[in-house]
Homo-oligomer: A and B are copies of this chain.
Amino acid sequence: MVLHVLDLVGVAVFAVSGALAAGRKHLDLLGVVVIALVTAIGGGTLRDLLLDRHPVFWIERPLYLPVILGAALLTVLYAKFFKPPHKSLLVADAFGLALFSIGGAQIAEQTHLSGLPIVVMGTITGAAGGVLRDMLLADIPVILKRGRIYATAAIVGIVLYLGLQALGLVQTWAALLGMTVIAGLRLAAIIWGLMLPIFSLSETPLES
């Protein structure tokens, strides 16, 4: 119950970030709603398709769609009068990433995956919505490019979560520690500008 409410809050935060990204590209109202939807449910939907979980989570639980719709429209309304609170949103987004990544990893565990596939599924759940958002906006996804720690925080947290369980810790504590590390790493990355190394090649094409 508490988890479902937290989940809806996370989805709403992702929807707000999608709506703001749509505004920066000057989309129309329909575009805002579509980008908000894709950002908020894209990752979990891809996970459900890959794991053959049906009905897909937002079909099974009817609250997701109205919450996203409401968050997107309120964002448009709010932005008419005030400046969006970018810093608070970044913090909320860090918690959303933590919650979704560990949640996605747990769903993958329930379907009897192990090891790397769990890490992939958790990371997809947390970060693929933002990737799909940027693909729709015809940009190289920001989380692949900037060097800032984002999906990497999810990967570290999920690996820790799996490792702690392998060492005998109960799942609940492993999950809480995993989420703390994800949110903490992400916030640290924002505050101190932690970066991943960039891989830079000259533009010689492979295809010919």
Count the copies: 3
A145 & B58 in contact (Cβ 8 Å cutoff): no
Contact status of A79 and B201, CB under 8 A, knowing A50-B45, A115-B62, A144-B136: yes
Bitwise, A1-37 to B at CB < 8 A (1) or not (0) is 0000000000000000101111111111111101101
Interface size on A, residues (CB 8 A): 78
**A129 smallest CB distance to B (angstroms):** 14
**A13 smallest CB distance to B (angstroms):** 11
B contact residues around A25 at 8 Å (CB) = 140, 145
Contact partner of A56 (CB less than 8 A), chosen from B50, B116, B131, is: B50
**A176 smallest CB distance to B (angstroms):** 24
Q: How far is the CA of A135 from the CA of B147 in the complex (A)?
A: 20
27 examples of A-B residue contacts, CB within 8 angstroms? A17-B206, A21-B206, A23-B201, A24-B202, A27-B144, A27-B145, A28-B145, A28-B198, A29-B152, A30-B143, A31-B144, A32-B199, A35-B144, A45-B50, A49-B50, A50-B56, A50-B59, A52-B55, A59-B117, A62-B115, A65-B120, A76-B199, A79-B201, A84-B201, A89-B206, A135-B136, A150-B207
